[in-house]
Chains A and B, each alone.
Chain A
């Protein structure tokens, strides 16, 4: 991998000792270690994938590491985002990550970018690096990273996770396929659940993030067979690794022979998302948690329907009647359409679908609990645990 550094990057005595296990392997050696030192790698996100990625790249002696993040550490991150500790909850992820990385390797030149990656800043940012590693968590940013990598000619070391499953590949190399060759279009919002909705096994970003770090290092050293034109599928439950062939699509709008996409676009619009945050309300009648509390306390005749999964009910519940959203069509006869029903889930998304379904099924008095049991915990009863 060509880098733009002119000065010879000689290693001092401390660095030679630190990297000795690299230096004694001919595949790395002094020349390889100097390539690592000259390399500039940009990590998008310091979350589940970004944690192991940044830690291993810093340890390996990458000279310049860039981190882009705007988020703050919270308790639900700690199950997998191992660059952050309990004491970091509430701190900026960038500050927390910077402490760990500098502690890990004082020779690291760390550059932090406290911003949300956007069409306005991506190109300029990517130009200052040699390789981009994508550890983001949403479709708009996935397509943004891909397109900006193609347009700036930077390899996109990709990893993605869901529940027990992961994907990894290397996109946007000179002759290789890009993310759009694999998936020309994103799924419509709501059809593919996010990790926040669907969960993720804590070790999985570790597994996939370390694969990304491995690919970054191989690209820099120019050794081995990188995951170019190959999609690696990881199934942690079966502990099976499968590999699929990826081809460069000649009709790809961004990397094909006649590209139609020559500058960055509005990726929220492309992914069908209006505004930065998806509105939780979906046009169904809503009730606020305070009003539900007041009416329940007044012993009004309300039927509380919980459409979460049984394992979520075990974490916490409001004593509601449990019918998971997917079972609702075949169990709708268990409900009394003459009664007033309040439907809730965790955040209000699934229950909005349930309300829409019940309305179509002829239920007249159904309300969606806005913000779900999570809002109840925030605003009515903090003893109800959040998850």
Chain B
């Protein structure tokens, strides 16, 4: 099992949870397990072509998956996945 950390702006689409436990051997599998449980999340994370949106970063533990094997990155039991979208607020 891996834990996916959900950022505040997206928690409304996952029943207000801060983290969701999913199983999956890769990031892609874990993400589809997440979207199966919470289909409303999809359009906020993926484009209509099914690509991860450019302002949404995904990390396995503290490493950006763009510098691992992207969505094919393999997961070990207990890995922490973080979804980190850009936020701009400051005022």
Contact = CB atoms under 8 A, between A and B. Distances in A.
Interface string A172-203: 00000000001111110001111100101000
A243 B84 CA distance: 12
Given A187-B85, A247-B64, A165 B7 contact: yes
B62 to A, nearest CB: 5
Given A162-B8, A163-B9, A247-B64, A183 B55 contact: yes
Interface in A134-159: 134-139, 142, 159
A50 B86 CA distance: 19
Nearest to A69: B91
Contacts, number: 105
A47 B90 contact: yes
Interface in B44-91: 44, 53-55, 57, 59, 62-64, 67, 82, 84-91
A87 to B, nearest CB: 20
B84 A231 contact: yes
Given A233-B84, A242-B82, A245-B62, A161 B89 contact: yes
A49 interface: yes
B90 A161 contact: yes
B54 A184 contact: yes
Among B40, B67, B82, B91, the most chain A Cβ lie within 10 Å of the Cβ of B91
Contacts of B53: 187
Given A183-B57, A184-B54, A231-B84, A137 B90 contact: yes
A244 interface: yes
A198 B67 CA distance: 32
Contacts of A71: 91
Contacts of A247: 64, 67
B91 A45 contact: yes
A238 B86 contact: no
A161 B64 CA distance: 21
Contacts of A194: 88-89
Interface of B: 7-9, 12-13, 18, 40, 44, 53-55, 57, 59, 62-64, 67, 82, 84-91
Name the 8 nearest CB pairs between A and B, nearest first: A47-B91, A185-B54, A195-B89, A137-B91, A162-B87, A187-B55, A183-B86, A137-B90
